[in-house]
Amino acid sequence: MQKEKRRVAFLSVIAAIFITGFKLIIGILTGSLGILSEALHSALDMVAAVITYFSVKVSDKPADKEHNYGHGKVENLSALIETILLLVTCVWIIYEATHRLLTGQTKIEVSVWSYVVVISSIIIDFSRSRALSRVAKKYNSQALEADALHFSTDIWSSSVVLFGLIAYQFFGWYAADSIAALFVAVIVLYVSYQLGRKAIDVLLDKAPVNTKKIVHDILITYPEIKKYHGLKARTAGADTFIKFNVHFDPDLSLREVHEVCDKIESEIQSRVERSEVYIHAEPEDAHHLENDSTDIQQETF
């Protein structure tokens, strides 16, 4: 698992270095703000790809004495850093594009290389985005998912720049390049919001979507369970941690309770990948009835 994640992350670093260098050279030679903004976007993607590569190496380390829940949140922190880098990109693109539109400094030189670099970028970005998405889904890796979103964003932004070049060269629309750059910024802002929200949710231990409902749906199938309470779930990287208390008939033996808990744990782990389940069993008696427990048939999500 770790080897495949590292390999796809490393190839993304190589692709990002190539794309960034190619765009930067052509952008400087032609003076195209669209291509230069794409070069900066790709440069930050390159930094993000490097961060992803190292975060993937660290995140799959097993839990140790100082990190009892593993190192999975390194991936989420990596995704948050990538979001900040994308926002930095937006600030520069919006400033430069607005400046050119207001001052009328929009003259650029479009050559065959302008089209070569943009089309090449679209092809490479498409290839890397698919590869990263596949491995991200396979191993539930937020860092690789964030990297895939970076490359997929490049596809759309490069397409907008391509439109700007065509409009400038063939239709004499001189503001097209700067307007295309602004569209790039809008796309980047949207992706930044998506990445940032997801990363912050995980770092703040927001309950993962549908996980609590999955656990509830499993618990109601066990007649031995009278009530449950304290259901909590959180994620760290690719791992999900679930804990809850369950109430059993006090006449059940310890062995019977243990067997039921093992079955529940196994079923949850089959439904929630890479999950660790902590179950605290309690007797259903008068003392526990006074507590804030949940009627197993009445819980809604």
With cut-offs at 50, 70 and 90, classify the pLDDT of residue 77: confident
Contact 46, 17 (CB under 8 A): yes
Mean pLDDT, range 242-270, rounded to an integer? 92
- Reading the block at residue 245, the tokens are 């208390």
Answer yes or no: is pLDDT of 242 > 90: yes
Judge whether residue 300 has pLDDT over 60: no
How far is the C-alpha of 274 from the C-alpha of 244, rounded, in Å? 17
d(CA 127, CA 263): 42
Q: What is the pLDDT of residue 48?
A: 75
72 pLDDT above the threshold of 60: yes
98-109 pLDDT per residue, tens: 877 887 665 566
Question: Where is mean pLDDT largest: 83-87, 126-130, 187-191?
Answer: 126-130
Mean pLDDT computed over 14-32? 82
Higher-confidence position of 200 and 209:
200
Q: Which two tokens stand for residue 192?
A: 């930044």
Phi, psi (degrees; rounded to nearest 5) at 102: -75, -35
- Alpha carbon 174 to its chain centroid, in Å, reads 37
Predicted local distance difference test score (pLDDT) of residue 296: 56
- What letters, b where the CB count within 10 A reaches 16 and e where it falls short, cover 206-226? eebeebbebbbebbeebebbb
Dihedral angle, C-alpha 179, 181, 185, 190, nearest 10 °: 70
Give the CATH fold of the 2-203 domain: Alpha-lytic protease prodomain-like (1.20.1510)
Predicted local confidence at residue 107, as pLDDT: 59
pLDDT tens digit string along 36-68? 777 776 777 787 788 777 777 777 677 777 777
pTM of the model: 0.64
When mean pLDDT is compared over 56-70, 150-164, 171-185, 237-251, the highest value belongs to 237-251
CATH for 211-295 is: 3.30.70.1350
Distance between CA 89 and CA 142 in Å, rounded? Answer: 21
Q: Among 102-111, 115-124, 275-284, whose mean pLDDT is lowest? A: 102-111
CA 240/CA 205 separation, integer angstroms:
10
Q: State residue 168's pLDDT score.
A: 75
Q: Where in the chain is the domain with CATH 1.20.1510.10?
A: 2-203
For the chain, the straight-line distance linking the first and the last C-alpha, in angstroms and rounded, comes to 34
Task: Tell me where in the chain the CATH 3.30.70.1350 domain(s) lie.
Answer: 211-295
Contacts of 135 (CB under 8 A, 6+ apart): 4, 5, 8, 141, 144
CA distance 215 to 225: 13
CA dihedral 22, 28, 31, 36 (to 10 degrees): 50
pLDDT band at 258, cuts 50/70/90? very high
Q: Is the pLDDT confidence value at 148 over 70?
A: yes
Query: For the CA atoms of the chain, what is the radius of gyration?
Result: 25
pLDDT digit string, tens, across residues 134-147: 888 777 776 777 77
Give the residue with greater pLDDT, 194 vs 38: 194
